Structure 1
């Protein structure tokens, strides 16, 4: 079952490109085994300016002229969760994204695992969060904070930790490994459903549909897809009506993935997922202009060609290099760009910015506020402005 919505500008990117991007995130993670991610602002740490409805936010006339860094934060960090009397209609047999026929007979103990936390957020959004028994290291929303983490060394699946939770079904994709761990689960008789690994602004509904189908709750899937789609349409319409009509007048933006501890500095380009986010927030995706596809280690030549007005990053990544000053030291070519000269760096929580789950409308809105209406839903990046 599918709940199609029109793409923002282009058709969905090839799956392989998305998988390659996510693999970098997995391979470059740092920190202790089983370390849980930061869960973002708490209720006591309200997002500045978030009390202003998005419809009433005043967009700056020239977003390229904005000075200084900002941290985008969600006006409402709660997951959208549908209400429905529908219970899982099981058993159900699905043909998953790997082309395998998988029969799910029990959805009482669910594990939803991927590199971005999208699958777990989707299960919670379907109203089945009370059936989830564990989480991956990227699932960072508050509703899942008490669940045990079953990944280690950043984002490697631990078959032993998973089996200890006695799941009745595992939802995953190709972004977590090793493959042997999944085979161990199958050998133990646990249904493993592989969903699409693609994460973009314009395929959230596809992920919802695949998860809902596997769990036997198509009506909940339809309700969640409609709710998220309607919210996203409203946010995109507000942005489109408020940003400069000519893309050339919008801020030239790039997305950098950085991990100072691993000496990793990647520029995310077309078909990486970050391109769809940049377009959605009313910026100009420079990667397309310079022919940068997928993700590749950043070069001085690429930065010079991109000449960005704005750089998007993960908060943890920016912190890992010592803030903006540390980033400019490690990637000196940025200093001579408009972004470097105006210190125009916008970061957002690692578990949010590329999640592309049910909170996608809220993420797009938060970034749009930080870029086009500083102070109305963003905070000065004191912690990361070295």
Structure 2
């Protein structure tokens, strides 16, 4: 039985300013969003990507005072501001499917984020492509991982490692590679492009459904439900949301037990870095990192300083925010020469985080994914921040 339902404008609207486009490129935006277009052009440059180089050697994380505990209340742990040296958040396992080999109820007709009505009749060969890896992770969480036929460079799931790559030059869609896989459904958003490729797929007869590019903890449930509806698994979508919500509540409660009180909270800055040249940004309000940092009991210094979206991480901006910890992506850190290379950038070594070499990194395809695995991401980051000996 066919159903017709919009993918909730509250969830799929492209409104909300440049920050809501997170890390992608936007097209077809109304004139009143000229400012957003400019910021999104910057985001396209940010995420062009580059080959990661091996990180420079860095000293092991150390603690001045009591060694980090593996469990127990925050009083049993050292003051996190006394911890020195870098740490890497443990890579998290693949998401556990909510069901095995479910049968989608199709056809389904949806109105996607671009306002286009799309009828989905076949979900046997799926491509789920966005810069965060969220859409593919959600498909796997719904139990349709065996129907994914390709991957993008952001897809960090082990179950997808052997699938053909359909992006190039970082996050650029390869139309020929996509068509060669004969997809029956493409799930995507405006964080990947060029848009001409997605339009070409539609002209060729492939159903292409666009989703809201906004990512944060608050959008996880809505994103799961819209993906589930698109592939004809509404009931499983609700179950996956319920499970994720419960896991989020549990993770936040456990993190609250090890995080310091608000007046001693770590001050954290999320840095987006690629290579040794000009791609170096502070992520502020609306880019997802603010929600991530808050959820692990820390203060996002960029948001606290009134920064919205992405701002060049100049020495002035770094000194003005002066974080205790830098949070960044693993491949990005490697591409700039590791911690030593990061410290060579103007202003970095003059911050508290730089003086203490306090840099926490996490896998690119996980840290800002904001999907069903977010509870595990939060736990891993909290360990890296508050008890790095338990973070691997």
Q: State the TM-score, normalizing by the size of structure 1.
A: 0.85
Distance 1:53 1:185, change over 3 A: farther
1:264-343 pair list within 5 angstroms: 264-331=279-346, 333-343=347-357
Q: How many residues align?
A: 351
Distance 1:236 1:2 in 2: 32
Aligned-residue offset at 1:285: 1.1
Contact kept in structure 1, 2:101 and 2:143, CA below 8 Å: no
Residue in 1 that maps onto 2:105: 89
Decide whether aligned partners of structure 1 residues 55 and 170 sit closer, same or farther in structure 2, where only a CA change above 3 A counts: farther
Per-residue CA distance 1:230-252 (angstroms, 9 max, x = gap): 11110011112332332x31111
Which residue number in structure 1 is paired with residue 268 of structure 2?
253
Matched, 1:19 2:34: no
Q: How does 1:361-380 map to 2 (within 5 A)?
A: 361-378=375-392
Residue in structure 2 matched with residue 30 of structure 1 by the alignment = 49
20 and 208 in structure 1: CA distance in 2 versus 1, 3 angstrom threshold: closer
TM-score (norm 2): 0.83
- State the partner residue of 1:205: 221
Q: Describe the SS at the equivalent of 1:356.
A: coil
Matches within 5 A, 1:355-366: 355-366=369-380
The gaps in structure 1 that reach 5 residues or longer are 5-11, 39-51, 379-386
2:110 is paired with a residue whose SS is strand
Partner of 2:90: 73
RMSD between superposed Cα atoms in Å: 2.6
- How far apart are the structure 1 equivalents of 2:277 and 2:141? 34
Deviates more, 1:107-116 or 1:320-329: 320-329
| Helix, strand or coil at the partner of 1:21 | coil
SS in 2 for 1:366: helix
Deviation >6 Å, runs of 4+: 1-4, 52-55
Query: SS of the residue aligned with 2:124?
Result: coil
Inter-CA distance 53–69: structure 2 relative to 1 (3 Å threshold)? closer
Q: Contact conserved, 1:95 with 1:101, CA < 8 A, in 2?
A: yes
* Cα gap change, 1:262 to 1:144, in 2 (>3 Å): farther
- 1:54/1:97 CA distance change after superposition, 3 Å: farther
Query: Per-residue deviation at 1:261?
Result: 4.7
Partners of 1:26 and 1:154 within 8 A in 2: no
